[in-house]
Amino acid sequence: MNNKKFASLRSGLFFLFLFFPISVFAESLVLEYKFTSDNGLIVSDTSGNDLNGDIEGSGAWHFAAGVGGGRGLKLNGIDNFILVSDNPIFDFNQYTVMAWIKFKPSTWDRQEVMEKAGSFWINIRKDTRKVRAGGFFGGCRNDASYFILDSSRAVLADTWTHVAATYDGAILRIYINGVLSGKSSVLVPGGPVCVNTEPLAIGAKHRTIPPPEDAAFLNGGMDTMRIFDAVLPGWRIKQEMLKN
């Protein structure tokens, strides 16, 4: 590259960094529900991607006090959850998922925070009350692609707790209140999550591919849930948690 071309390139890069915020070059926010102004049976995506969700199940009022006295989502643990239509934006090579939750004991063996059936999920186990994250990585075959990880510590019931999971194409991590609480290389080939046509369910398991199933409904509250298409480090997860 001659000096004139190099100078032109350098000037262009300087212009970009001078007039555009650094966030332009950071990870992309795929989905965000804050629940602050939602009513009825629709929750609004504030990420800019227009991935609004439908509240499924019974009841006419689905909002209550959230983190810090604000407004959050209320789920009955029986049939309520948010359903988001399948979208290619969920076909991740890597991701970060997170939400504030406040769960009550339930008869289900786990309570789903969010799941795209056959692709990725994060939930709270009934027996241990630990966070479990997992997915189908590098393919969609059951034994060859399926992997799960449990957190090293439990989550308290009836207490607002921030839970998050990241996957970078090879390693799965879990964070509780912004602190790393589990890390493991996936014991499968790794790579992108399984690409399928399942919708994203928030607060329950909802599988449409036979055999269809609705299960693991979250009993309690949720606030400020976000999904990113990149791996956020621990300090960024804590930043997002405090930004609620």
More confident position, 216 or 143: 216
Residue 196 lies inside a defined structural domain of this protein: yes
pLDDT of residue 5: 46
**190 or 22, higher pLDDT:** 190
Token pair, residue 109, equals 């063996």
pLDDT value at residue 2: 55
What CATH number is attached to the domain comprising 80? 2.60.120.200
Mean pLDDT of 221-229: 98
Tell me what pLDDT residue 17 has: 34
Distance CA 161, CA 129 (A): 12
Residue 189 within any structural domain of the chain: yes
66: burial class by Cβ within 10 Å (0-12, 13-18, 19+)?
buried
In a domain, 19, yes or no: no
How many folded domains does the chain comprise?
Answer: 1
In angstroms, what CA-CA distances link 231 with 79, 95, 116, 220? 32, 5, 18, 28
- Length of the chain counted residue by residue: 244
The answer to whether residue 10 scores a pLDDT higher than 60 is no
**Structure-block tokens of residue 178:** 């912004």
For the chain, give the percent of residues with pLDDT over 70.
89
Residue 27 clears pLDDT 90, i.e. is over it:
no
At 57-79, the pLDDT tens digits run 998 889 999 998 889 999 999 99
Q: Measured between alpha carbons, how far apart are the two ends of the chain, in Å? A: 47
Q: Give 155's contacts (C-beta < 8 A, 6+ positions apart).
A: 101, 103, 124, 129, 130, 131, 161, 163, 176
Determine, yes or no, domain membership for 24: no
Work out the percent of the chain whose per-residue pLDDT is above 90.
83
Give the residue, 7 or 90, on which the prediction is more confident: 90
197 SS3 class? coil
**What secondary structure letter does DSSP report for 89?**
G
Asked whether residue 53 is domain-assigned, the answer is yes
Instruction: Examine residue 212 and state whether it is found in any structural domain, yes or no.
Output: yes
pLDDT for the residue 26: 55
pLDDT of 16 strictly over 60 = no
User: Is the pLDDT at 22 greater than 70, yes or no?
Assistant: no
**What pLDDT score does 25 carry?**
40
Of 187, 231, 219, 13, residue with least CA distance to 112: 219
- Write down the pLDDT at residue 69: 85
Q: Is residue 35 part of a domain?
A: yes
Domain that holds residue 201: 30-242
Judge residue 154's burial from the number of C-beta atoms within 10 Å of its C-beta, 0-12 exposed, 13-18 middle, 19 or more buried. Answer: middle
| Structure-token pair, residue 157 | 């019931």
Mean pLDDT of the chain: 91
What per-residue confidence (pLDDT) applies to 20?
A: 37
pLDDT of residue 3: 53
153 domain residue, yes or no: yes
Using alpha carbons only, give the angle 83, 84, 86 rounded to the nearest 5 degrees.
130
